[in-house]
Chains A and B, each alone.
Chain A
Amino acid sequence: MCRLAAITASEYFSPLENVYALETMKEGHDGSGMGLMLKDLGGFAEPLKEYPVLSGICSNDGLKRIEDYMLAQGFREVHMWNPVIKPLPGVDKKDCYFAKFYDYPVSYKEKPWKEKELLLLGTRLALRRMGESDESIVVFSFYPDVITLKEVGDPLQLAEYFGLDRDGLKARIVLAQGRQNTNYAINLYACHPFFIQGFGTMTNGENTAFVPIREYLMSRGFQGYTGYQSDSEVFTHILHYTVNRLGFPLPYYKHIITPLKRQEMEGRPDRDALLLMRQSMRMLVIDGPNCVIGFTPDGTCFMVQDSKKLRPGAVGGRKGKYALMSEECGIDKAVPERDRSEDIFPMKYDMVIVSPGAQEVKVWNQLKN
């Protein structure tokens, strides 16, 4: 089972903290891979917040093709972070790991944010398609203030491999997931966390209803709902669909993936709305076993369980720093100086929401709210 380690804080911190937390949970994962997603970047990237960052892996030929394509689209590269790789046995080294910071094409500079967002998404998907057949280009995210790193191998070793301790890479939100995809083919696109237009999630467990959910998302007519090398990618896209496409408040994500039973809806002021959603969005209902941890564009972080609470998950911390982990030992590592008695173990109706900047944590109960 995947191990998940998310930290959200008011101050910048190194993603190494997440890796160390993952290391404490090592008994539960097989060290077969790691995905890191950093949001609200600090360190060398702090002055570059406004520029969209293209994160990925490519061959030397792929790099050339990326540069040509981006140039042709009018993107101007303002910075490139490519970690100095320390080769390690067992890790299949690729030519180039990169996070390229771009300025928007001139024609887009004055365009509304929604259009810019679509441009970034379309560009990422175009690059993905360009390199899909020969795996010369793999791109994980293209968005301002977000960097994604993924590779097959042991998380601690990968931290060394990427030199995470060297380059001063920091962020206020970091999601880390340990273990490669086990249900489908080994593929870097199958590695959590997944990202789309400011939304990122990672999951442990297996999504048994993957196929109908995938078909439903793919038929929504939105270009970003594609990929699905992993059954967990749909969780990110359902979140995006709920909040971005439908404009629903975040807690309704829980209502969509694990709807209340009819008798539980009775007497609620939103009963009629929930009933309509129950019908209309039944293809998006999950059965788990899943614990989903993620963030939204405004920096809110959350943890949500399936309707039977079949996977572990805990949230703990103090004002200014919270950890959302699949195991409590990870929280102990990340935020040792906290009141453990206030740790939260969300159950089947709960959604734990940590406000932006890790200022406040709330347990939103689906039944009571």
Chain B
Amino acid sequence: MEPTEKLDKNHQLTLKEFPYTISWRDDRCTRCGQCTAVCPVKAIVPDVRVERVVSSEGSLPAPKVSRRVVQVVRQVNDIDRYCTGCAMCQLVCPNAAIEPEFNPSHKFLHFKNKGGDAYKRGGRRNDPSPSTLDQLKFTRISMLTDPALDAGRHEFHLRTFLGRILPPESLPLKAEDGRLVVDRKSDVFVPPVREIYPIMIGSMSVGALSPPMWEGLAMGVAYLNEELGMPVVMCSGEGGMPPRLLKSRFLKYYVLQIASGYFGWDEIVRALPSMVEDPAAIEIKYGQGAKPGDGGLLMSYKVLKLISSIRGVPMMVDLASPPTHQTKYSIEEAVAKMIQSMSMAWGFRVPVYPKISGTKTAKAVLNNLARNPFAAALSIDGEDGGTGAAYNVSMDKMGHPIASNIRECYLDLVKQGKQNELPLIAAGGVGKKGNLAANAAALIMLGASAVSIGKYLMQSTADCLGDENNRCNLCNTGRCPRGITTQDPKLYRRLDSSKVAERLVDVFRAADTELKKIFAPLGRSTELPIGMSDGLSVADKAIAERLGISYVC
């Protein structure tokens, strides 16, 4: 006797449980097979089925029933091969015969834990609702009592400082014949400060990104700096950088990250004597907005020859960075020592700053750093940040929104009079809905000195398919269909690094124009409107109260 399970397909999932269902049109499909070949998760397969066909020949109706075997494209109902909605099938289909459709009533998370394996993915928080940043409006428009500036005509100084800035009272200056000069005999330590573009490229590692993706970003950064004079800096992420780049003059455009796995730092330290330029800064990663309190993970199948040599590890092993630095004993000792050690490695010529994930404890970290004269900045990464690999629960449920976190930190610095001494870098969800410049401007007006972006760039420079409806988000699997987060040459050859570079330049040029279009009517051009919160409003009383901005309706 057949078990009932097999007869009525019980314990099998219906496609209604899946987040995306495939809509396939028999009449349009040419059976070319491109869609099933390109699908990164094999969610669709070529299949056959028997069709009942009713036909009639001759002048009078004489229906005849026949059965024939036809080739079809079928979506599988295996949870391990769920359709991610990436729509690569739609992209390659020559005849518009196939597309995935989002299923808002799916029960995906009920089942994506087969074998007791909690769901892991790449991407960002699956929350498509507008972020706080997207709800903020710029309402203090210069009108009549003061002329609005002209974004096209007036000179704008869209630059910020990265590095610990001395308060005016501590500057080693002296007046000589009515002119101020630096007192060279003074023993005041003047920390290194870089003048950079206020939108930074956040930490995405060489291992997480494919060679053409990283190369494309790097080329774009070099072009922005050297051809357009826009001092955009890019963070290496954990895992070091190619030694040739470390020893090149381009190093000054990069922020080198050291994280809990210390991957890549053997090579960096070895390259130190041969460096012809200092890096823009050193970022010590203590946390990441997308997966706060969790470590990094580079899956073994991404650890191929290049990556293993850069990171100084064997090939094909999982590279897990612990959730925290193993040497971290206390913020006063271990963190301060780490900042000083990194500073010392470059002769105190390079700003060194920590990056933490957005958290209620950010103010405690901030206050400690404010007292540490070597801390060059604090980067806070909010819950809407992205990652190449993390547990879904970390991404969706852990973390702190960036808006209120950055605001309370800024106001705390204001209380101490140190709002210009320790720059705050805001990250996590900047450009979530595509409003890069507006989100960046809002964060700056809430108190950030700079913002850092990552996934927005993947989306806009390399057409990353991911979104807040869990579309694609395969970064962790090494099977990125766009060739962005993979070390598989078959996949990454799809990506043209020149096009990535070109798009990166497009993005920054457009953002630059948009920032001017925002700042000009607010009457700010010679300096960033850091903390100019009177220019912001929101149509939500609770948000207005929390951020200390005006409520409008």
Contact = CB atoms under 8 A, between A and B. Distances in A.
Given A259-B526, A282-B527, A276 B166 contact: yes
A252 interface: yes
A261 B419 CA distance: 22
Contacts of A266: none
Nearest to A282: B527
Contact of B173 (A208, A209, A276): A276
A240 B229 CA distance: 36
Contact of B534 (A210, A252, A259, A276): A210
A205 B417 CA distance: 27
Given A215-B419, A248-B175, A285 B527 contact: yes
Contacts of B166: 276, 279-280
A66 interface: no
B178 interface: yes
A273 interface: yes
A211 interface: yes
Q: How large is the interface on B (under 10, 10 to 19, 20 to 34, 35 or more residues)?
A: 35 or more
A249 B178 CA distance: 6
B525 A249 contact: no
A258 B168 CA distance: 16
Nearest to B174: A273
A249 B149 contact: no
Contacts of B179: 249, 269-270
Interface in B504-540: 522-534
A211 B531 contact: yes
Contacts of A277: 168, 171, 173, 180
- Most A Cβ at <10 Å: residue of B145, B180, B195, B529: B180
B424 interface: no
A216 interface: yes
Contacts of B180: 248-249, 252, 270, 273-274, 277
B414 to A, nearest CB: 5
Contact of A280 (B168, B526, B529): B168
Interface in B138-163: 142, 145-147, 149, 154-155, 157, 161
Contact of A251 (B178, B193, B416, B527): B178
B165 interface: yes
Nearest to B179: A270
Contacts of A182: 145
B161 A287 contact: no
Interface string A257-277: 011011000000110111011
A320 interface: no
Contacts of B525: 287, 308
B181 interface: yes
Given A273-B180, A310-B147, A208 B522 contact: yes
Given A252-B180, A273-B180, A279-B165, A307 B146 contact: no
Contacts of A166: none
A1 B145 CA distance: 7
User: Looking at chain A's contact residues, is the secondary structure mostly helix, strand, loop, or mixed?
Assistant: loop
A220 B99 CA distance: 61
B451 to A, nearest CB: 17
Nearest to B417: A219
B414 A219 contact: yes
A211 B168 contact: no
A36 B181 CA distance: 38
A301 B415 CA distance: 34
A183 interface: yes
B149 A282 contact: no
B47 interface: no
B145 A206 contact: yes
A308 B142 CA distance: 15
Contact of B419 (A221, A262, A276, A283): A283
Contact of B168 (A208, A246, A287, A310): A246
Contacts of B195: 262
Contacts of B157: 261
A281 B168 contact: yes
Nearest to A285: B527
Interface residues of A, number: 47
Contacts of A283: 419-420, 530-531
A105 interface: no
A215 B142 contact: no
A348 B486 CA distance: 54
B169 interface: yes
A249 B146 contact: no
A269 to B, nearest CB: 7
A215 B147 CA distance: 24
A168 interface: no
Contacts of B167: 280
B420 A280 contact: yes
A331 to B, nearest CB: 24
Contacts of B533: 211
A221 B522 CA distance: 29
Contacts of A273: 171, 173, 180-182
B175 A219 contact: no
A300 to B, nearest CB: 13
Given A280-B171, A285-B526, A211 B147 contact: no
B280 to A, nearest CB: 16
Contact of A287 (B182, B524, B530, B531): B524
A122 interface: no
B79 interface: no
Interface in A300-314: 307-308, 310
A205 B144 CA distance: 10
Given A248-B175, A283-B420, A307 B526 contact: yes
Nearest to A241: B168
A224 interface: no
B37 interface: no
A89 interface: no
B190 interface: yes
Interface string A179-215: 0001100000000000000000000011011111001
Interface in B252-272: none
Closest 6 CB pairs of A and B: A208-B523, A219-B417, A206-B146, A212-B531, A285-B527, A273-B180
17 contacts: A182-B145, A183-B145, A209-B523, A209-B529, A212-B419, A219-B417, A220-B417, A241-B168, A251-B178, A276-B171, A277-B168, A277-B180, A280-B168, A280-B420, A287-B525, A289-B146, A289-B147
Given A246-B168, A248-B180, A249-B175, 16 more contacts: A206-B145, A208-B523, A211-B532, A212-B530, A245-B169, A259-B526, A261-B157, A269-B179, A272-B181, A273-B182, A276-B190, A277-B168, A277-B180, A282-B420, A289-B146, A310-B147
